[in-house]
Chain A
Amino acid sequence: MKTSLKSTLLLLALISLTHCSFRKTESVKSTSEDSLQNKGEDFPLALLNADQALSTMLRLTGQSAPNNAVLNEYNIRNSSFSVRSELTMMNAPLLLSATSLAGEVCNSLIAKERGLASESRLFFQGINFSTGVDKINNTIFMTTIDRFAEKLWGRPLTDSESALFADFFATFVMDLTDAQRTQAAQTQALALSACSATLSSFETLTF
């Protein structure tokens, strides 16, 4: 089962990679050893390297400096990031590493925001971290996701993204037992998933 899950993840990552590389720009070609061989008048998107990705994740979530957990994760994962900027350098290990790094940045963000009054938070307004997910409805969840989309991507969610997030929320809650749905830890896990997903998305990792 574990192996099957891994394979599925890898496949999804690869599909995602292939799709994204040619969706966002057709200008990037890996036909030369020159990292910047992009001919013509195109304005290519560029892939962030590790240093840029960490800086981006911190900047986008309004954190001025990384804590030790983020730095440790960065030190473990940074070699999986590309040192070059072509989109074709994006691969499954990079995506996994970006997700792990985003996870730690998001943990730090959640720790910061849960100590703030709901209206003072940048992202998690309306989420009560001391109660379970049974107190979170689709509207509250989607409002949070909207905030991430606006801040990180500079645009509202597309219909298909909204549908995906709504589906994710429903599945997340459905997979829990009644007891788990009342646990505060699951609220944190939900927030972590939403934050990590947006923060390690293709759109966040390119500029």
Chain B
Amino acid sequence: MNKAGICFLFILGLLPSTVNALSDTEKEAKWLLERLTGTRWPADDNLVLEMSQLITTQSRSAAAQRAMREPEFYNITIKQFALLMSTREETIRTPFNDFAASFIGVTRDDIDARQLLTGNFYYAAAASRIPAGVTIPMDIGDDMLASNKHYESLESQRLNLVNLLEKRDFQLLSINDANDTVLNPDAAGVLTSRAFLEAHATAGTNRRLVEFSFRQFLCSPIDSIADTMAPDVRIGRDIDRFPGGDPVKFQTTCKGCHTVMDGFRGAFAKWDFLNGTPIHSAAGGTQGRAPRADSRGIASKLNQNNNVYSGGYVTTDDSWINFANRGTNATNLMWRSNPTGNGVRGFGEQLANSQRFSQCMARRTFEMICKRTLPLEEQMLIYAQVGAQWETTGYKLKKLFEVIATHPKCRHPAGGSL
């Protein structure tokens, strides 16, 4: 390209664009299609015209449903929707992983989205669906559990993810250096996915798993649910009750987050992430997969630094207690199940059955499709409304995207009343 060509590229951006050739309905159809698929489409594409007709003859919902049949809805929109939640960095610049694969699969297969936090399944590419001449690392132990090679390879070759993925019942864990596998004894959807555990169970004290579960699935950063008046009986021995020699600081600040986090932390008591692999003490791993746990199967990191405050709680099992169920937490999170339980699956059920979960998914979907946040005064009302509606449709993610994309608060300005 010569000099004139290069300069020309940049000048082009300066020009105003006021000429419009599409009708309002076509504009709305195009907007709907593009926002749902995360991809711009040719203005004269037959699909734009088809959706435009659907808007006129049936409804916007029918048009949205048509748009969601396109692979880009899954391969881009749902993938990025999930990637944002899958790691600590909360960015779409994250390699495709088992967490995002589950979201794509659950959306495609119209599975109750609560199973994303409770289900005993995972999604991987079906060998029979991989195009000829394409090589994908397919070993469950080496390429899916001990590394992310399988999923990264699917993405880097830009394969059609939604067509390739198949649901596989029963999550697995690698138990030795040869990556032999056993059934996951406490499977809980994406909460026990490799990506989520790598992000939050690596080192640390497993509090991060609780913190980010609330953050991603209830849209509640831990400081927003801090409660200094909640019982502190579950706060571990590694938390200083006299930070800097000041007990007031613990009582007025530290305690607030730890009452909630440490109350739930027991759910992950038997989990760890070592040598690139999720570890559960009950899985009986050896060699590089041997759990660092005590005789009860409690990961060492749960009770580490036990001399900081020897009167603190000692984790002895995977039980948890919901201490985020008082005052404003009860009002905001709206729990609907027993406030005690065991393991990650029970924890996942607690989160998934709260009203806050459906509201949070509504909010995430709104931000994904509409590319803005609602004013605070509208958030409560609209997310509660859409969340409740979503629950009545069986927590189907496609339905949620359809409702949000056609919502008057999200709709393209060309879309008036029909």
For A99, the chain B residues whose CB sits under 8 A away are 9
CB 8 Å contact bits of B69-83 with A (1 = contact, 0 = none): 000100110011000
Among A51, A56, A71, A161, which residue has the most Cβ atoms of chain B within 10 A?
A51
The answer to whether A83 and B13 touch across the interface, beta carbons within 8 angstroms, is no
Interface residues in A143-158 by Cβ distance below 8 A to B read 150-158
Is B244 at the interface (CB under 8 A from chain A)? no
Partner-binding segment picked from B35-43, B52-60, B167-175, B380-388: B35-43
The answer to whether B7 and A9 touch across the interface, beta carbons within 8 angstroms, is yes
CA distance A55 to B42 in the complex (A): 12
Is B338 at the interface (CB under 8 A from chain A)? no
For A37, the chain B residues whose CB sits under 8 A away are 372-373
The answer to whether A154 and B43 touch across the interface, beta carbons within 8 angstroms, is yes
For B38, the chain A residues whose CB sits under 8 A away are 48, 51-52, 55
CA distance A152 to B78 in the complex (A): 24
Interface size class of B (residues with CB under 8 A): 35 or more
Other-chain contact of A207, B10, B11, B34, B157 (Cβ < 8 Å): B34
CA distance A182 to B3 in the complex (A): 19
Interface size class of A (residues with CB under 8 A): 35 or more
For A154, the chain B residues whose CB sits under 8 A away are 20-22, 30, 42-44
Other-chain contact of A59, B40, B367, B411, B412 (Cβ < 8 Å): B40
A38-B373, A158-B15, A158-B18 known; A192+B1 contact, CB < 8 A: yes
CA distance A168 to B371 in the complex (A): 36
Chain A proximity of B251: nearest CB distance (Å): 30
Is B418 at the interface (CB under 8 A from chain A)? no
Which partner residue on chain B sits nearest A45 by CB separation?
A: B371
Is B17 at the interface (CB under 8 A from chain A)? yes
The answer to whether A150 and B1 touch across the interface, beta carbons within 8 angstroms, is no
The answer to whether B8 and A164 touch across the interface, beta carbons within 8 angstroms, is yes
Is B12 at the interface (CB under 8 A from chain A)? yes
For A56, the chain B residues whose CB sits under 8 A away are 39-40
A16-B11, A168-B4, A193-B8 known; A158+B42 contact, CB < 8 A: no
CA distance A180 to B375 in the complex (A): 59
For B13, the chain A residues whose CB sits under 8 A away are 13, 16-17, 19-20, 95, 201-202
Other-chain contact of A155, B19, B80, B91, B158 (Cβ < 8 Å): B19
The answer to whether B375 and A59 touch across the interface, beta carbons within 8 angstroms, is no
The answer to whether B17 and A203 touch across the interface, beta carbons within 8 angstroms, is yes
Interface residues in A129-177 by Cβ distance below 8 A to B read 150-158, 160-161, 164, 168, 171-172, 175
Which partner residue on chain A sits nearest B367 by CB separation?
A: A36
For B22, the chain A residues whose CB sits under 8 A away are 154-155
CA distance A15 to B10 in the complex (A): 9
Interface residues in B228-277 by Cβ distance below 8 A to A read none
Chain B proximity of A70: nearest CB distance (Å): 9
A49-B80, A55-B38, A150-B21 known; A189+B1 contact, CB < 8 A: yes
14 contacts between A and B (CB under 8 A): A16-B10, A23-B16, A55-B38, A56-B39, A60-B41, A65-B158, A150-B43, A155-B21, A156-B21, A168-B4, A193-B5, A197-B8, A197-B9, A202-B12
Q: Which residues of B contact A (CB under 8 A)?
A: 1-22, 30-31, 34-35, 37-44, 72, 75-76, 79-80, 91-93, 156-158, 367, 370-373, 375, 411-413
